[in-house]
Amino acid sequence: MTKTAWLGLGVMGFPMAGHLAAKSDASVTVYNRTAAKSADWVGKHKGAHKPTPAEAVKEADFVFACVGNDDDLRQITIGAGGAFSAMKKGSIFVDHTTASADVARELHANAKEKGIGFVDAPVSGGQAGAENGVLTVMCGGDDADYTKAEPLIMSYARMCKLLGGPGAGQLAKMCNQIAIAGVVQGLAECIQFGMKAGLDMEKVIEVISKGAAGSWQMENRHKTMIAGKFDFGFAVDWMRKDLGICLAEASRNKAHLPLTALVDQFYSEVQAIGGNRWDTSSLIARFPKTK
């Protein structure tokens, strides 16, 4: 039986680790900063939990992680009691955190020095995608490491692809978030305009979603925008973190992201009215009430 470890049991990691346990032949040992969450996971799935990343990964052939940001990722890998100090040679670390390309390259190099594989593998699909096991996974790293890890990743993914060397997965996730930002803002403006014009926007969306205007965001988020209820997915705080990573990378590679910068500012306005934990469709909340 393949031995695995999972580090980080937040809204994404908890169900992803569950799919890994249920759909693969792998045993799963988990670690979470809040031990009660680890115990909860073990109560719902087969497996065990340990008090530190190092203890969780000692026997693992593959280690998966999904934490908050660059600093969290460094802490669980190269910090005190981190995974890299205890992983066996030839094992592979798969990181699903949305982080910077710089930290992916840094940890890839650090892992290689220790005889460990490292794949940066951020995901798209949100909490619903994690719960339903249909995430899209964008990967960077060495081909041999990716090829070994891919069958396990597919236990919670519907699409998984190696897109280049270390950091390529994180760069692809930046592309994903850049594209989403503009689409959500366009949808918010569309719905606000239609409601101001006195249209039944449910009927309008039913029609235009079948044409060139259609998108995942339109299909899945128009109802939240129309209803003004924003508790259905990826939080504004997380989106701003991701857009900040995109804008920082763009300042380095000289890409121009005027729309992304503008939408990031709009999300700061949503935060200012208390929408930190609202989902990203809350961009429409910036507009005056239409009803």
Looking at residue 290, its pLDDT comes to 55
Do 70 and 51 lie in one domain? The reply is yes
Q: Does residue 291 fall inside a structural domain?
A: no
Do 159 and 185 lie in one domain? The reply is no
**Cα–Cα nearest to 177, from 260, 66, 275:** 260
Do 147 and 175 lie in one domain? The reply is no
Helices (H) and strands (E) in the chain, counts: 12, 9
Do 118 and 243 lie in one domain? The reply is no
Please identify every stretch of the chain with a pLDDT value under 50, giving residue numbers as ranges. Answer: none
The CATH number of residue 241's host domain is 1.10.1040.10
Coarse DSSP helix, strand, coil percentages of the chain, rounded to the nearest 5 percent: 55, 15, 30
Exposure string over 36-51, b if 16+ CB within 10 A, otherwise e: ebbebbbeebebebbe
* Pair of tokens at residue 133: 């096991």
- For residues 197 and 240, what is the distance between their CA atoms, to the nearest angstrom? 31
83-102 pLDDT per residue, tens = 999 999 999 999 999 999 99
6 bridge partner residues: 30, 64
Q: What secondary structure letter does DSSP report for 284?
A: G
Q: Which of 37, 50, 148, 173 is flagged as catalytic? A: 173
Domain of residue 189 covers 171-286
Q: Is 173 designated active site?
A: yes
- Residue at a domain's end among 135, 164, 193: 164
Do 40 and 124 lie in one domain? The reply is yes
Do 125 and 251 lie in one domain? The reply is no
Q: What is the pTM of this model?
A: 0.94
Question: How many domains, in total, are found in the chain?
Answer: 2
